[in-house]
Structure 1
């Protein structure tokens, strides 16, 4: 996956907001579709598609990651038992779409779940209530960790496929992850791959 040169400066939620809102003149738009494929075999969706087991099977979903597990109005009340009959593997996170909620502790497990699905030849639906904040944040973290994309590149890619709007707290957590990965030389692997391709 080609990437732009990783910026030397630390990213900010404001920078990510600019990337997200630039296609709509500075407005943060809610998704216009129930779900979208934002990366090969990875989908982001809202509550309606997450609860539609036959709809999920119809698009070939084999795994579902619910980033809003719970039974309040702000959650999506689904569980592993619901999907056994249609052979969909389920993983749920009890996250709140609030600025002070720490989603970072769930990044590694979510990335592992998504990658296991991809490695098995499957398709993953990552959902939350609206398919715009919690789910988008987890997919962005996945692209950063597994595909060595700086957060700016990951955000541009996902936003080109779906309207997303992570809250400012989640965007700060993604920026913090970006700085951590950048200091570890994580994004250099992407540049090395790009250079190898250019020299073939």
Structure 2
């Protein structure tokens, strides 16, 4: 069953989305990673190439998202030090991210739950990996796609998911909220299951009654002949 995000006040949500107000963004920071949520970092390929920096940041897991044609350069570099998940994803507006997201979410959830820290990166850290992180933030904190996008953008100012990815972020908001609604009311699930069984039992009973009636009719016909 899905785990629902903790409830927060409107003020807490606004403060969380706004993020730290004392950070002055510089062009050089595009090449670095930023912490989006506790234990979740987002950045470009460049941020995954320095073992000392990764260790200094306390990274334990890395989600490497790449286009298949980038596999030579965008790849796990320190498999003996970190646990990797590699996702081959086209950075195009037609690419389906929603289908691929659940496995990335599970990887991140398990890492953070175990006390780890996860770096999610693609080549530039501008469109592809930010789209995955926005989806994660959206579901983790029960936010709208716009609030989740602003939260990530307020920590990594250079992100800009392409139009196709933005459309999927909107679609995913409806998907995860529907799942949360079902998870919030398990008694309704049980009641629905009971109603379904009752209907099936009634249908089975009606079929048995019809069979018995046909048997009596057949028996009467046989006796008359």
TM-score of the superposed pair, with normalisation by structure 2: 0.64
Of the three residues 79, 90, 101, the one matched with 2:84 is 90
Alignment correspondent of 1:37: 35
Which of 137, 152, 157 is the aligned partner of 2:131? 137
The gaps in structure 1 that reach 5 residues or longer are 5-28, 190-200
Partners of 1:181 and 1:55 in 2: CA distance: 35
* Aligned equivalents of 2:67, 2:83: Cα separation in 1: 15
1:53-72 aligned at under 5 Å gives the runs: 53-68=51-66, 70-72=68-70
Whether 1:2 and 2:1 are equivalent positions in the alignment is no
Kept in 1: contact 2:67–2:91 (CA 8 A): no
Structure 2: distance between partners of 1:120 and 1:66: 20
Structure 2: how far apart are the matches of 1:107 and 1:89?
A: 18
> Deviation at 1:58?
1.5
- Whole-angstrom CA distance in 2 between matches of 1:144 and 1:30: 27
Q: Which residue matches 2:173?
A: 178
Answering whether residue 115 of structure 2 is matched by residue 118 of structure 1, we say no
Q: Which has the higher helix share?
A: 2
Under a length normalisation based on structure 1, what TM-score does the superposition of the two structures give? 0.71
Aligned pair 1:77/2:71, yes or no? no
Structure 2 residue ranges without an equivalent (≥5): 1-6, 11-26, 185-225
CA distance in 2, matches of 1:108, 1:30: 32
- Counterpart CA distance in 2 for 1:118 and 1:102 is 25
Q: Displacement, 1:129?
A: 0.9
Number of the residue aligned with 1:195: none
Q: What residue number does 2:47 align with?
A: 49
Whichever of the two has the greater Rg, that structure is 2
C-alpha displacement of 1:71: 4.7
Q: How does 1:91-110 map to 2 (within 5 A)?
A: 91-110=85-104
Contact 1:63 1:124 in 2 (8 A): yes
Q: Which residue of 2 aligns with 1:15?
A: none
- Deviations for 1:16-70, whole angstroms, at most 9, x for unmatched residues? xxxxxxxxxxxxx996342111111111111111122222111110000011164
Considering only aligned residues, what root-mean-square deviation do their CA atoms show, in Å? 2.8
More RCO (CA 8 Å, sep 6+): 1
Q: Residues of 1 paired with 2:152 and 2:163: CA distance?
A: 17
Q: Name the SS for the 1:67 alignment partner.
A: strand
